Amino acid sequence: MLDKEALTKIVGAVVFSAVLTGAIYIIHAALPEELIHTTGDNGVWYFQVKAPKASSPDGVISAEEWSTVYPEIAASMAANSDNNYRISYLEEDPYLTNVYEGYGFAKDYTSAIGHTYCLEDVHNTERPHALANCLTCKTPNFTKLVNDMGDAAYTLDFEETWAKMSENTSCYNCHENQAGNAGELVVTHQYISKALGDNMAGIDPAVLSCGQCHIEYYFDPDTKATSSPVSSVETMHPAAILDYYNQMDFADWTQESTGAKLLKAQHPEMETYLLGVHAASLNCADCHMAITTAENGTVYHSHKWESPLENETLLASCASCHGETDMAEKVHAIQEEITAREKEVGSKLSDLKDSLAAKAADGSMTEEELEAIRSLYRDAQWFWDFCYVENAEGAHNSKLARECLDTSEGKINEAMSLLEA
């Protein structure tokens, strides 16, 4: 084994090689006492360290405990607390209250803030949550509970289970208890590994690591377990997911005024991204986790997850494909276009909802006629929602965003023509 002095001497060359390949995990200029050994792969070296001891009864090593080994990474992750500015979508887009009538999102729907607020957010939301399955992705303690206990964990009482949780989304979610060791990434959420199976092998681990939470999901009607409707990249298209839900006759809720069985898309970032052009050459870390050099020379991936538009290092990397294009201007233009279309189509969806509710109430149409319109309304709402709730506002995949909104508008027009016939 190389001694510490010898390893320190090779760090400069290692850093240079790793930057060229874009495959950095963490490289210490001053190596920790806990160093066990090093491994090399394609010229890139990774330092493996002994994991700190967990103080949590469930064995989850916290970010604070990992900070004794990786202080720079832990500090950057704590900086996610800076993202605490909320936007009320219900105030920004008042039609949402009408579209989501009868569902929790009509009561409380705000923009996402830093991962360091997950436990606070899920507890304080006005959306009802009787069961612990609402804790999925909010805390590694619940992820560990599911891994230890199985699907029965999802049916536990929310309040009692929440009171036992101590860590916001953190190291364990993406690395299990081996954070940093050879840059190992682990899919800790069983519902993703069950759904994708062998097809996980074809997806970049850095995409899976984020995507295991940033994905469309549903609660199984019988077991209440968090479940995924996808089994491969090909099945991630919103049309394929809709077909999946139609085949199992699934609905998140039945809207009383219209009688429609509706779906609520979650946050399908992984699906949207993998169906786009960026997936062939980039992963989530490339665009949202800047490679950073600390004052002591440590090179690491920042774990402050942020938009490339808010980080010059990330934004500059776009030039490798986009050249001299003003990327901030280009992305803002896409987001403004998609946001405007979301509002336009969303308002039309709200009008359709009102027209359908009126027809359902006045008895002027047969149940068969109403069901045909309800089906179109369900489809239109799904395709619009799939785009609306995806957090990139078209930046991840502008082609799919436009396709979803155009499909939704087409369904709305078809339904309105039936209502007006």
Establish if 281 belongs to a structural domain.
Answer: no
User: Taking the model in full, what pTM does it have?
Assistant: 0.89
Q: Do 14 and 143 share a domain, yes or no?
A: no
The arithmetic mean of pLDDT across residues 147-163, rounded, is 97
Instruction: Report which of 64, 76, 79 is spatially closest to residue 113, judged by C-alpha positions.
Output: 79
Per-residue DSSP letter, 295: T
Establish if 306 belongs to a structural domain.
Answer: yes
The arithmetic mean of pLDDT across residues 200-227, rounded, is 95
3-state SS, one letter per residue, for 22-69? CCCCEECCCCCCCEEEEEEECCEEEEEECCCCCCCCCCCCCHHHHCCC
Q: Do 416 and 383 share a domain, yes or no?
A: yes
Asked if residue 265 has pLDDT above 90, the reply is: yes
Q: Do 23 and 93 share a domain, yes or no?
A: no
Establish if 282 belongs to a structural domain.
Answer: no
Q: How many CB atoms lie within 10 A of CB 149?
A: 11
Q: Do 125 and 217 share a domain, yes or no?
A: yes
Q: Do 123 and 223 share a domain, yes or no?
A: yes
Per-residue DSSP letter, 297: S
Q: Higher pLDDT residue, 70 or 389?
A: 389
Residue spans of alpha helices (H) in 178-288 = 190-196, 205-211, 238-247, 269-274, 284-288
| pLDDT at site 291 | 86
What mean pLDDT, rounded, does the chain reach? 88
The arithmetic mean of pLDDT across residues 392-412, rounded, is 97
Q: Do 313 and 366 share a domain, yes or no?
A: no
Q: How far is the CA of 137 from the CAs of 113, 122, 188, 212, 217, in angstroms?
A: 14, 10, 10, 8, 11
> CATH number of the domain that 249 lies in?
1.10.1130.10
Asked if residue 192 has pLDDT above 80, the reply is: yes
Asked if residue 24 has pLDDT above 80, the reply is: no
Q: How many CB atoms lie within 10 A of CB 180?
A: 20
Q: Do 116 and 229 share a domain, yes or no?
A: yes
The arithmetic mean of pLDDT across residues 261-286, rounded, is 95
Structure token pair of residue 255: 């809207």
Q: How many CB atoms lie within 10 A of CB 52?
A: 18
Q: Do 114 and 45 share a domain, yes or no?
A: no
How far is residue 398's CA from residue 390's CA, in Å, rounded to a whole number? Answer: 11
Establish if 375 belongs to a structural domain.
Answer: yes
Q: Do 206 and 283 meet the contact criterion of CB atoms below 8 Å apart? A: yes
Query: What is the pLDDT confidence band of residue 47, given thresholds at 50, 70 and 90?
Result: low
Q: Do 311 and 342 meet the contact criterion of CB atoms below 8 Å apart? A: no
Per-residue DSSP letter, 296: T
Query: What is the pLDDT confidence band of residue 77, given thresholds at 50, 70 and 90?
Result: very high
Q: Give the pLDDT confidence of 322-354 residue by residue, as tens digits.
A: 888 898 999 999 999 999 999 999 999 999 999
303: containing domain: 4-56+287-321
Q: Do 235 and 104 share a domain, yes or no?
A: yes
Q: Do 264 and 252 meet the contact criterion of CB atoms below 8 Å apart? A: yes
Query: What is the pLDDT confidence band of residue 46, given thresholds at 50, 70 and 90?
Result: low
The arithmetic mean of pLDDT across residues 255-279, rounded, is 97
| pLDDT at site 44 | 39
Q: Higher pLDDT residue, 26 or 15?
A: 26
